[in-house]
Structure 1
Amino acid sequence: MTDPSRPLRLAELVASLSLATDLGLGQPQEHVLRQTVLAVRLAEAAGLSEADRAAAYYVSLLAWVGCVADSPEMARWFGDDLRIRADSYDIDKTGLPMMAFLLGHLAEGASPLRRISVTGRFLAGGVRDTMDSFLTHCRTAADIAERLDLPATVRGALPQAFERWDGRGVPGGLRGEAIIRVMRVVHIADDAEVHARVGGVDAAVRMLRSRSGTEFDPELVELCIRGDGAMLDGLDQVDAWQQVIDGCAALDRPIPAAELTDVLAVFADYSDAKATWFLGHSRAVADLADAAAREYGLSAEQAVTVRRAALVCRLGTIGVSTGIWNKPGPLTASERERVRMVPYLTERVLARSPHLAALAGPASMVYERMDGSGYPRGLTGSMLPPAARILAAAQMFRALGEQRPHRPAMAPDERARVLRAEVTAGRLDGDAVAAVLAAAQGRRPRKRAQIAGLTARELDVLALLVRGRSTREIAHALGISPRTAGSHVEHIYTKIGVHSRGSAAVFAMRHGLLPDEDQAEKIG
């Protein structure tokens, strides 16, 4: 266990973020941590310098963090974004095997007629969407590394997450030693950990041999499998959390208390990228809950804790398929049960770090209710601290003001009526609701930042674009022609230096470009 008396360090935060990445990859908890242990072993065996070993450590922890940002596109074609990522470890991801894999996962569970229709549309435009998703992934990972102030050696490697030794990867088609050696190490460690855990060391060795010289650097493969895979033996038995936390003094640094809220905003944006409906949600709840905590009478220090808990209270959404979040009709019993696991998953991500565990309590109680009807534990009012009561009210107020696939957004007055009815029914705390409504009434509309030379009209287009609206839908909402809307989209991409909706969404959240609720209603 990490010593709670030690100051919070960067390694601890990035390791915690990797636990959320496990959810997005459809992998068991600590997959990325075990992968990192293996990556460091392999880097040492390969004689990498201390600086490169340190880079391998952080590249491994962050290489797949971008998987959340392309979830809406993955769900659009494949339904369950978690399953397709988990299943992708079984194949050498290129050429005909990759195409067969993608086509086999299209519209799973749909009727034969719908699958034929979706296949036709996928061949016409979905393949390009899939390639763009790789770019979104890489861009998001590099963005997070930059926001965490990691060095250029880490940021420079992350865009090569999907390159291959044989040159058949993306986005640059880099070949052989043109791929940074640190990333070549991580490529092997990622797949090898999964195969060793699922099928044993022998299965991992067979997989590495079969992909040597195609997906993986053959020299590094030989190092990894020498001695019949001794490097892989016992990987599932190590205390991966502790090894990772203690394993990178070279790039580790303390996180000042004043910096923690900004770092947790990275966590918030990461979880909100899971679905277009959630973009900016966690930051908005944090703003409202912070103000409500002060209205409630909590101290400034307690209000900061409420804000921080709000920023991380939806990390567990990453562990639910975006296909479920996008479903317009009623959820099945199993889908509802998965959704009810969100607070538990959030708690599991935060609980390993003693410094973040203090936020796990209120963050995991956001869907509990005073009368015991909430989830996941059915706690009652006497068990819910003020922070949890405020978070529950703030989260509900904000969520009701956002459009969802199964319902439209509600106006502020209507939301206030709903929250007061929840108090009457005994589900929400009356003082907490009063504080949230007072805070919401007193908030002034936030002025969107002027950045990258974006015009007011382009900001409106950006707000619709990142929500997944098509060019035609953007044109209709803004009363402009599709051609004009398309030109605006092209100019936006050029100005902010991205090429996909997901990357634009990450940029918009990071820079506060998403409109407040009342502004969103005016935009459409």
Structure 2
Amino acid sequence: MTEGQPVGHCVRVCWIGVHVGRELGLDDAALWELYYTLLLKDLGCSSNAARICQLYLTDDLTFKRDFKSVGDRLPQVLGFVLSHAGLKAGLAQRFRTVINIVQNGGEIARELIETRCQRGAEIARQLRFPEGVALGIQALDEHWNGGGKPMGTAGADIPVYSRIALLAQVVDVFHTGAGEAAARREARERSGTWFDPWIVEAFERVAERRTFWETLGSDAVESAVFALEPAQRIELADEDYLDDIAAAFARVVDSKSPYTSGHSDRVAFFADMIAEEMGLDEAGRRRLRRAALLHDIGKLGVSNEILDKPGKLDDAEFAAVRHHALYSETILSRIGAFQDLARIGGAHHERLDGKGYPRGLMGDAIGRETRIISVADVFDALTADRPYRPAMPVSKAMGIMTADVGTAFDPDCLEALRRGLERLGTGQP
């Protein structure tokens, strides 16, 4: 979602990359690490979205999608910049943007890639994956000839998982966009520059198998990838691990915009405080904290050009923002351990009077946990900086929310927030 790629990109990359790894003769332990490097290669992708919008004055999702098909040739790079930078800006501003990119493009690209790759590696470690997976993600954009980013590492010094992942990524982009012949041609043309020739040769052997392409292009590829996982390692997802997973993906979400940095953690804090005041037991509060950490995961599918817009959103932009709640519900519903949180993620912008979104639920159709998170979410939004206004004092925020008690907000939840704030010593009467 955050890379702007067609649905299933990382799944298809995993299908491609694991087959290449098998062809290379990697053992089961290495294949297991490769499998998760491929699936998680874009863990840090949200962390440079705002910077892309700032530097290129463009939609980060379209930019990222199209950039994956750009090679090293100057005409191709320049054509990409001219066709993507500052298209909605005035002529003078667009000209300055393009000149800055042309003059400083190498350093800009290094900065963006370093941010993404380092953050991805950090999150992989937080998710308790081994160092091989973290390093595979960190070196994803290094090239065989040393011309990649951010370190300029070359040859066999690049982790083999990274070398396979880069090839698999490019193959999927070109196969999805232009078909098998284009994907195979791109792999051959970048052999020795972007790609390790040894890995390209292995891919070429894999590419001779018709079943490989048939599965890659079918709806069955996701189930095929699940079946492909090397089974020699099992992780027990205990309660502490589920907490770590929720916290890790909250970092992915909040990294997307400077205005949402720390938002999910704060919403979890305020929701837990409200729940404690309302007498929820520890198991219920733990579940609620996870829901709060993950409630905005759907914002990964919304462009920062919209999320960070300083002015009023137009109807199309507002519709895109509203859709994030359904994205959250869809994502969480696909994860067994978090399926019961999906309805909270999908309903945290509903209102008691039925004027919320996305479904216009009202009254008792909105569960208590969702009501708690809605209050915590709006309170944090009001008391934090936003692109269109500075943070409000607590007293002003509480006044605004009190005016909407019974229409937008549950009175018991807001009163619990008030009591909790008093205990924090905010001076709220």
TM-score tier (shorter): over 0.9
Q: Which runs of 5+ in 2 are unaligned?
A: none
- TM-score (normalizing by structure 2): 0.93
Residue 36 of structure 1 is aligned with which of 3, 6, 14? Answer: 14
Match of 1:149 in 2: 128
**Counterparts of 2:105 and 2:201, CA distance in 1:** 37
Aligned match of 1:337: 319
Quote the residue 2:379 is aligned against: 397
The alpha carbon displacement at 1:102 in A equals: 3.0
Match of 1:121? Answer: 100
The corresponding residue for 2:86 is 107
Equivalences, count: 423
Q: 1:50-89 counterparts in 2 under 5 A?
A: 50-78=28-56, 79-89=58-68
From 110, 118, 137, the equivalent of 1:131 is 110
After superposition, what is the alpha-carbon deviation per residue over 1:211-248, rounded to whole angstroms, capped at 9, x for unaligned? 22222223322332345463333213254444444513
8 Å contact 2:329–2:344 — kept in the other structure?
A: no
In structure 1, the residue matched to 2:264 is 282
What is residue 296 of structure 1 aligned with on the other side?
278
The one-letter code matched in structure 2 to 1:204 is: A
C-alpha spacing 1:138/1:129, structure 2 compared with 1 (3 Å): same
Which residue matches 1:412? 394
Bigger shift: 398-407 or 107-116?
Answer: 107-116
Question: Is 1:261 matched with 2:243?
Answer: yes
Residue identity in the other structure for 1:132: E
Question: Over aligned residues, Cα RMSD in angstroms?
Answer: 2.1
Cα separation, partners in 2 of 1:252 and 1:419, compared to 1, 3 Å = same
CA distance in 1, matches of 2:109, 2:129: 28
Q: Distance in 2 between matches of 1:87 and 1:252?
A: 37
For residues 468-507 of structure 1, the aligned pairs below 5 Å read: none
Can you list the C-alpha shifts for 1:84-122, whole angstroms capped at 9, x where unaligned?
Answer: 110012221465533442343221222222211222333
Determine if contact 1:201/1:229 at 8 Å carries over to the other structure.
Answer: no
**Aligned residue in 2 for 1:363:** 345
Residue 212 (structure 1) aligns with: 191
CA–CA distance in 2 between the matches of 1:312 and 1:97? Answer: 39
Question: What's the CA shift string for 1:373-400, capped at 9, x where partnerless?
Answer: 1111111122111000111111000110
Mind listing any 5+ residue stretches in structure 1 that lack a counterpart?
1-22, 446-517, 519-524
User: Quick one: which amino acid aligns to residue 340 of structure 1?
Assistant: R
Say if 1:196 and 1:232, in contact at 8 Å, map to a contact too.
Answer: no
Query: Matches of residues 505-520 of structure 1 in structure 2 within 5 Å?
Result: none
SS at 2:89's partner residue? coil
Label 1:241 to 1:410 Cα distance change in 2 as closer, same or farther (>3 A). Answer: same
Structure 1 residues 118-127 or 352-361, which shifts more? Answer: 118-127
Question: Conserved in 1, the CA contact under 8 Å of 2:379 and 2:397?
Answer: yes
Q: Conserved in 2, the CA contact under 8 Å of 1:74 and 1:130?
A: no
Q: 1:52 to 1:102 in 2, by over 3 A?
A: farther
Change (3 A) 1:167 1:290: same
Inter-partner Cα distance in structure 1 for 2:148 and 2:10: 22
Q: Distance in 2 between matches of 1:404 and 1:298?
A: 31
Code of the aligned partner of 2:130 = P
What is aligned with 1:312? 294
Relative to structure 1, the CA distance from residue 252 to residue 96 in structure 2 (aligned partners, 3 Å threshold; closer, same or farther) is: farther
Q: Is the 1:195–1:203 Cα contact (8 Å) retained in structure 2?
A: yes
Aligned to 1:354: 336
Q: CA deviation at 1:180?
A: 1.9
Given that 1:390 and 1:436 are in contact with CA atoms closer than 8 Å, whether structure 2 keeps it comes out as no
CA contact (8 A) 1:77 1:107 kept: no
Report the 3-state secondary structure (helix = DSSP H, G, I; strand = E; otherwise coil) of the residue aligned with 1:279: coil
Match of 1:140 in 2: 119
Indicate conservation of the 8 Å contact 1:205/1:229, yes or no.
no
| Residues 93, 429 of structure 1: alpha-carbon distance in 2 compared, 3 angstrom cutoff | farther
Distance 1:255 1:65 in 2: 19
Q: Residue 273 of structure 1: CA displacement?
A: 0.5
DSSP-derived class of the 1:168 partner: coil
Partners of 2:267 and 2:292 within 8 A in 1: yes
Give the distance between the partners of 2:218 and 2:99, measured in 1 at CA.
46
* Letter of the structure 2 residue corresponding to residue 429 of structure 1: D
Shift of 1:286: 0.2
**Are residues 76 and 94 of structure 1, via their aligned partners in 2, closer, same or farther at CA, if it must alter by over 3 Å?**
farther
| Distance in structure 2 (CA, Å) of the matches to 1:234 and 1:196 | 13
Q: Are 1:368 and 1:377, in contact at CA under 8 Å, matched by a contact in 2? A: yes
| 1:417 CA displacement | 0.8
Shift of 1:59: 1.0
The alpha carbon displacement at 1:27 in A equals 1.5
Question: Residue 145 of structure 2 is aligned with which of 166, 181, 185?
Answer: 166
Q: Distance in 2 between matches of 1:241 and 1:269?
A: 26
> Among 154, 158, 166, which residue is 1:187 paired with?
166
Asked if structure 1 preserves the Cα contact closer than 8 Å seen for 2:33 and 2:133, the reply is: yes
Q: Secondary structure at the match of 1:130?
A: helix
Please tell me whether the aligned partners of residues 25 and 85 of structure 1 are also in contact (alpha carbons under 8 angstroms): yes
Q: Distance in 2 between matches of 1:222 and 1:229?
A: 14
1:234/1:432 CA distance change after superposition, 3 Å: same
Match of 1:201 in 2: 180
Amino acid in the other structure paired with 1:257: E
The answer as to whether partners of 1:94 and 1:168 remain within 8 angstroms in 2 is no
How far apart are 1:146 and its partner, in Å? Answer: 1.4
Report the Cα distance in structure 1 between the residues aligned to 2:343 and 2:315, rounded to whole angstroms. Answer: 26
Q: CA–CA distance in 2 between the matches of 1:77 and 1:191? A: 24
How far the C-alpha of 1:73 sits from its partner, in A, is 1.1
Q: Is the 8 A contact 1:164 1:175 kept in 2?
A: yes
Q: Offset of 1:430 from its aligned partner?
A: 1.1
Matching residue's letter, 1:75: C
Compute the displacement of 1:202 (Å): 2.4
Partner of 1:441: 422
Q: 2:213 corresponds to which residue?
A: 232
The superposition leaves residues 447-493 of structure 1 with CA deviations (integer Å, 9 ceiling, x where unpaired) of: xxxxxxxxxxxxxxxxxxxxxxxxxxxxxxxxxxxxxxxxxxxxxxx
- CA distance change for structure 1 residues 217 and 396 in 2, over 3 Å: closer, same or farther? same
The 3-state SS of whatever aligns with 1:237 is: coil
Q: Report if aligned partners of 1:289, 1:394 keep a CA contact under 8 Å in 2.
A: yes
Displacement of 1:123 in angstroms is: 4.2
Counterpart of 2:215, as a letter, is G
Q: Which amino acid aligns with 2:415?
A: A
